[in-house]
């Protein structure tokens, strides 16, 4: 398979099981690599050692990362490490890790000496299909997630599919939720292929192919609207609900689980407002279930509704949603009346089935 994905973003995205030749060629073309920034998780060491050998990078700068350390203080540590390593403004930095790494290292490199070139080796499913692609970088503030950052493109992204072998199941599910979302946006073969794969163990999935299908949805959507002024919102399918669920749970519910429930909620709201067919809604539920994602969440509907009021994507005080009309035909910017939204939220603590049919 040709590992470089054609895309309109202006930087190569390479997806494959063993990207060492591609990494070597990249370093030869763009190098030398001035520094390597890596997620310090010890489980990543073997993969990172191979990447480092391929790009002939100096000894990696290890940064302890976690969702809680996705903060400005960690950015400062990263900047200090780059300076101590003697990285110059004309330097090239290669980072490796999951979505926290691509967000935080990408941001640090975007502001270090007003910006050095940055390439990312994605090691988690979320980083491969979502976080490392599209140029959004940043960190959390005390007041909320991803509230400080920049739009800044990497010079290349490598989706190191073989790294997935050591990725914990929980992190795998986070990525699966975004893949199902992308498949609803794209419809057609992508959705059908996932339906065929879903009953099989994840270890047997043709991951390079699945990742490529999801990455295509992301690159095409982002290329149409790089600064998120409009159509990029499509990628927020399920996310107005998901963000509110995460907040209402005090972030005890993971983003992936919240997105899965959010996709059910978006489907329900679309059903209720007469835009989505029951048959396709049930296909979405079946796919989410088969890949092991949840459909219900034990939260007070009122708490979720209140949390929706503080969504950063809200415009002029009105709630807007991304809703499917059919698989492959998703619309954004749809205002819905609060009664319908509340009716949908009331169902999310119960399993689907007859309860969803009686809308
Ligand atoms: N910028 C964007 O457009 C965008 C889009 C989606 C998500 N994100 C961000 O991405 C982050 C979530 O990404 P994530 O799920 O990759 O989280 P993560 O980076 O925290 O990785 C999850 C866990 O897996 C470990 N890990 C990573 N790769 C591994 C591997 N190959 N083997 C073993 N362990 C590995 C990490 O050390 C971590 O413990 C969130 O902060 C989210 O805001 C950003
Ligand atoms: Zn998401």
Q: Which long-range contacts (CB under 8 A, 24 or more apart) does 18-25 make?
A: 18/162, 19/54, 19/121, 19/158, 19/159, 19/160, 20/50, 20/51, 20/53, 20/54, 21/54, 22/158, 23/51, 23/54, 23/55, 23/121, 23/158, 24/54, 24/55
Q: What is the mean pLDDT of residues 149-164?
A: 97
Average pLDDT of span 298-323 = 83
Are the beta carbons of 264 and 284 closer than 8 angstroms? Answer: yes
C-alpha to C-alpha distance for 118 and 148, rounded to whole angstroms = 19
Asked if 124 contacts 97 with a C-beta cutoff of 8 angstroms, the reply is yes
Q: Tell me: the pLDDT tens digits for 80-117?
A: 999 999 999 999 999 999 999 999 999 999 999 999 99
Q: How far is the CA of 55 from the centre of ligand 2 (A)?
A: 31
Sketch out the chain's domains with CATH numbers: 4-166 (3.40.50.1970), 178-357 (1.20.1090.10)
Of the chain, the percentage scoring pLDDT greater than 90 comes to 89
Q: Which of 103, 176, 227 to mutate to test the pocket of ligand 1 (most atoms within 8 A of CB)?
A: 103
247 Cα to the center of ligand 1, angstroms: 19
Q: pTM of this prediction?
A: 0.96
Give the pLDDT confidence of 173-194 residue by residue, as tens digits.
999 999 999 999 999 999 999 9
Pocket flag, ligand 1, residue 127 (CB < 6 Å): yes
Q: Which atom of ligand 1 is nearest to the CA of 138?
A: 1
Q: Is the confidence at residue 275, as pLDDT, over 80? A: yes
Cα gap 103→124, rounded to integer Å: 13
Atom number of ligand 1 nearest to Cα 39: 37
- Retrieve residue 166's tokens: 């050591």
CB of 256 closer than 6 angstroms to any ligand 1 atom: no
1 confidence band (pLDDT: 50, 70, 90): very low
Give residue-wise pLDDT tens across range 8-39: 899 999 999 989 999 999 999 998 999 999 99
Ligand 1: which residue has its CA nearest to atom 35?
A: 167
pLDDT band at 7 (very low <50, low <70, confident <90, very high): confident
Distance (Å, rounded) from C-alpha 94 to C-alpha 55? 9
């Amino acid at each position: 398979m040709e590992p470089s994905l054609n895309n309109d973003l202006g930087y190569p995205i390479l997806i494959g099981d063993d990207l060492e030749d591609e990494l070597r060629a990249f370093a030869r073309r763009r190098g030398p690599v001035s520094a390597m920034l890596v997620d310090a998780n010890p489980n990543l060491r073997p993969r990172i050692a191979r990447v480092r050998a391929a790009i002939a990078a100096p000894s990696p700068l290890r940064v302890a990362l976690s969702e809680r350390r996705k903060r400005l203080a960690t950015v400062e540590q990263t900047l200090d490490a780059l300076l101590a390593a003697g990285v110059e403004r004309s330097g090239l930095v290669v980072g490796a890790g999951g979505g926290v790494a691509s967000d935080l290292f990408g941001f640090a490199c975007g502001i270090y000496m007003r910006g050095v070139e940055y390439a990312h080796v994605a090691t988690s499913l979320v980083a491969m299909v979502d976080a490392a692609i599209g140029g959004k970088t940043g960190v959390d503030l005390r007041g909320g997630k991803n509230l400080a950052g920049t739009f800044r493109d990497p010079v290349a992204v490598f989706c190191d599919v073989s790294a997935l072998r050591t990725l914990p199941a929980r992190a795998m599910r986070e990525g699966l939720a975004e893949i199902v979302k992308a498949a609803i946006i794209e419809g057609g073969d992508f959705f059908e292929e996932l339906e065929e794969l879903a009953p099989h163990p994840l270890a047997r999935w043709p991951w390079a192919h699945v990742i490529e299908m999801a990455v295509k949805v992301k690159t095409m959507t982002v290329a149409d609207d790089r600064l998120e002024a409009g159509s990029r919102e499509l990628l927020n399918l399920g996310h107005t609900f998901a963000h509110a669920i995460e907040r209402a749970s005090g972030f005890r519910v993971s983003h992936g689980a919240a997105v899965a429930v959010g996709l059910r909620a978006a489907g329900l709201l679309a059903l209720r407002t007469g835009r989505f067919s029951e048959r396709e809604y049930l296909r979405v539920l079946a796919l989410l279930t088969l890949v092991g994602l949840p459909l219900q969440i034990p939260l007070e509907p009122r708490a979720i509704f209140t949390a929706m009021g503080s969504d950063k994507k809200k415009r002029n005080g009105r709630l807007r949603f991304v809703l499917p009309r059919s698989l492959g035909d998703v619309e954004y910017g749809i205002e819905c009346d609060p009664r319908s939204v509340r009716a949908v939220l009331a169902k999310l603590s119960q399993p689907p089935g007859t309860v969803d049919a009686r809308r």
